[in-house]
Structure 1
Amino acid sequence: MSTRRRVTIATIAEEAGVSIPTVSKVINGRPEVAPETRRKVERLLHKHGYQRRVSSDDTPAGLVDLVFAEIESPWAMEIVRGAETAAHDAGSSVVISVLHTHAGPGRDWLERLAARRTDGVVIVASKLSGDVQAQLTARSLPFVVVDPEGEPAPGVVSVGATNWHGGLAATRHLLELGHRRIAMISGPADMLCSQARIDGYRAALETAGVAVDPALIRRGTFLVDSGHDEGHALLELPDAPTAIFAGSDLQAFGVFEAARQRGLRVPVDLSVVGFDDLPLARSAWPPLTTVRQPLQEMAALATRTVLGMGRGEAPEMRRVELATELIVRESTAAPRP
């Protein structure tokens, strides 16, 4: 019976028709390789599932790469705090990269990452293509995805929150106060967390025997302007909602402003619930009722997990969802009679 030949750098070099040093340069992110040659070698690394061997005397670099699609929000700052706390406790430091796109890490970033040498990568709220996964694996770089945009591929380790339960709890709270015209503003349709929050909202209404009105479900971004614009659109409806569940605290702050501009008072004329429980939620006026998403804990867990993977430890679970919690403050009340 034949045994399968172990894939080595020499195997890849022979099949690609290049030298062994050239393959090594591609694996380690060195720049002095022609683009066409680099693409050919990377395709073969992916095809053969090559993984760089890590010698037993390798010592940790003391670095964790934290990769964002965008970072211009308090939400991202909570992720940074959680990652830095966990890294500090482990004697490591955090390097932050911002891609300015939700398409996921690109070739240039991967090359810089490989050249820098890092103990692991935490990728936040981005898509992760099969090609990038293969390149990270080929370089023996452990990675964890926080709040993935789409369904993670089998085997990818990810950390998120119980978004469905959060949407359910927020909507039930408004129902228990007596609201029946409850609107929902969510994020982009292709984000898992957006759809999960809408599904929780729908489940709460259906369980209470309240019909789901498609006109009351809006999609946007998770930013203030989106909450403001969609809030205005909802409040202009002939049968306007008495309560709005926003998919993020920033959206909720935008709804606050839309209500103010229309001469409405929160919560006397309109109840508002957010999602995230950012520090700003407590100091808003009125203080915001919101669903607490454990952002710092999510980032800390992802950082500890990726550092453990770098030490050769297998993660206990491939997909972890931390619990959300409804935090009731002063932005919700019973509807006016």
Structure 2
Amino acid sequence: MTDSARPRRATLSDVAAAAGVSQATVSKALNGRDDVAAETREIVLAAVAELGYRPTTAPAASSRRTIAVTFDIPASPYILNVLQGVLVAATENRLDLLTRLPPDRAARGQRAVGRDWIAEQRASGAIGVVGLTLSHPDALLDAASEASLPFVMVDPVDATHKRLVSVASSNWAGARTAADYLIGLGHRRIAWIGGPEASDAARDRLYGYRAALDAAGLEIDPAHVVADQFDAAAGARHARAMLGMDLPPTAIMAADDEIAVGVLAAARELGVSVPRDLSVIGFDDTPQAPWTTPPLTTVHQHLDEMGRMAVHTVVAIADGRRPVSRHVELATSLTIRETTAPPPA
């Protein structure tokens, strides 16, 4: 394609003309200056989104760059550990870190909402966004792509965006390893308490569990496999039901450590001894895992490294470099503690 045939990149002057304001006003609006009226700022941001304008240089007010991180569940130990890696990588790259709530879930799928949210991040000086296990992100990913703003997902939940860039763990392999370990101990009735069915990570972990049991020729009792939320209450509720069956499982695998904590609580409540009567395995290896009673056997994933990798990927894309892979999977391993043992005779 010749230079004359290439589409011309929008300039600050184009945005000013489309918004009906001066170039100085456009610059102030994009730099978050408080001497620009809210209505004027909205008009400028709408013009930026429509023209696909992207500043060629960082705002003159500062030599530092900014990155935004957004997530749905701030109280989750999983999120806090990934955030630690995000913070470390932001510091290493001399980036200021913005913590943002995503748009409300009810409106998140609307393209206009996605465009407005992405325009806000760009107006704040963000060179890119890291999304942590964000549900229904496609409108945000579309808007980020239109605005040429790098957006990297950590453990994507239900994203279908064809150009998705993501960082995750080898969830299938981790669950397969954990199930194989229980089978090797002699367990034959192994139950699964999973996360949301829409979650890619929860689904891959379920598939790893099923693959191990299938390979061992073990029949899976449908009553021993459930999907719910990643929280302790769900784990306790389903564990109570399973342990009250005529033929209860001798081991329960949980799709994350929060669910496993609930399983341990239910077992203690019912007088079921762990690991003598019941073995329990979690997934994540969050800092609380060694401090449960007894200490939790769990699948270790490098949560902080996932956060660091996501930030480094955003920076690479913002600097015009292609990521090594659009979908990075970090290795998992099994951390054996005191909640697993051979099944009761």
TM-score, L = length of structure 2: 0.84
Q: Contact 1:294–1:324 at 8 Å: present in 2 too?
A: yes
Matches within 5 A, 1:163-174: 163-174=171-182
Aligned partner of 1:54 in structure 2 is 56
The one of 55, 70, 84 aligned to 2:87: 84
Matched, 1:8 2:15: no
Matches within 5 A, 1:297-308: 297-308=305-316
Q: In structure 2, the residue corresponding to 1:32 is in which secondary structure?
A: helix
Q: Contact 1:170–1:326 at 8 Å: present in 2 too?
A: yes
1:209-246, Cα deviation, whole Å (9 max, x unpaired) = 00122111111111111111111111122211110000
**1:73: how far off?**
1.6
**CA shift in 2, pair 1:101/1:202, >3 Å:** farther
**CA shift in 2, pair 1:102/1:326, >3 Å:** farther
1:3-56, Cα deviation, whole Å (9 max, x unpaired) = 46436369998xx9864879x69x9498426989977985x55xxxx3525249
Matched, 1:70 2:73: yes
Aligned partner of 1:283 in structure 2 is 291
Q: In structure 2, the residue corresponding to 1:76 is in which secondary structure?
A: helix
Aligned partner of 1:203 in structure 2 is 211
1:226-275, Cα deviation, whole Å (9 max, x unpaired) = 11111111112221111000011111010001001111110011000000
**1:170: how far off?**
1.1
- Aligned Cα RMSD in Å? 3.3
Q: In structure 2, the residue corresponding to 1:190 is in which secondary structure?
A: coil
Q: In structure 2, the residue corresponding to 1:273 is in which secondary structure?
A: strand
Q: Contact 2:193–2:226 at 8 Å: present in 1 too?
A: yes
Q: Contact 1:71–1:98 at 8 Å: present in 2 too?
A: no
**CA shift in 2, pair 1:150/1:77, >3 Å:** same
Q: Which moved more, 1:261-270 or 1:91-100?
A: 91-100
Q: Contact 2:142–2:161 at 8 Å: present in 1 too?
A: no
Matched, 1:178 2:180: no
**1:127: how far off?**
3.3
TM-score, L = length of structure 1: 0.86
**CA shift in 2, pair 1:57/1:264, >3 Å:** closer
1:149-174, Cα deviation, whole Å (9 max, x unpaired) = 12442222110011101111111111
Q: Contact 2:276–2:341 at 8 Å: present in 1 too?
A: yes
Aligned partner of 1:110 in structure 2 is 118
What fraction of aligned residue pairs are identical, expressed as a percent?
A: 35
Matched, 1:32 2:35: no
**1:196: how far off?**
0.4
Matched, 1:225 2:228: no
Write the letter of the residue equivalent to 1:266. Answer: V
Q: Which moved more, 1:182-191 or 1:73-82?
A: 73-82
Write the letter of the residue equivalent to 1:165. Answer: A
Structure-1 separation of matches of 2:250 and 2:200: 27
**CA shift in 2, pair 1:130/1:267, >3 Å:** closer
Structure-2 separation of matches of 1:212 and 1:282: 30
**CA shift in 2, pair 1:291/1:55, >3 Å:** same
Write the letter of the residue equivalent to 2:39. Answer: E
**CA shift in 2, pair 1:297/1:18, >3 Å:** closer
Q: Which moved more, 1:95-104 or 1:189-198?
A: 95-104
Q: In structure 1, the residue corresponding to 2:131 is in which secondary structure?
A: strand
Write the letter of the residue equivalent to 2:161. Answer: A
**CA shift in 2, pair 1:4/1:140, >3 Å:** closer
Q: Contact 1:69–1:99 at 8 Å: present in 2 too?
A: yes
1:119-175, Cα deviation, whole Å (9 max, x unpaired) = 221111113544322332344322211110124422221100111011111111111
Q: Which moved more, 1:279-288 or 1:176-185?
A: 279-288
**1:100: how far off?**
8.1
**CA shift in 2, pair 1:285/1:125, >3 Å:** same
State the aligned residue count.
331
Aligned partner of 1:156 in structure 2 is 164
1:170-224, Cα deviation, whole Å (9 max, x unpaired) = 1111111111110001100001011101100100000000012211111111111
**CA shift in 2, pair 1:34/1:74, >3 Å:** closer
Aligned partner of 2:223 in structure 1 is 215
Structure-1 separation of matches of 2:205 and 2:170: 9
Structure-2 separation of matches of 1:36 and 1:128: 27
Matches within 5 A, 1:316-331: 316-331=324-339
Matched, 1:241 2:249: yes
Aligned partner of 2:151 in structure 1 is 143
Q: Which moved more, 1:92-101 or 1:245-254?
A: 92-101
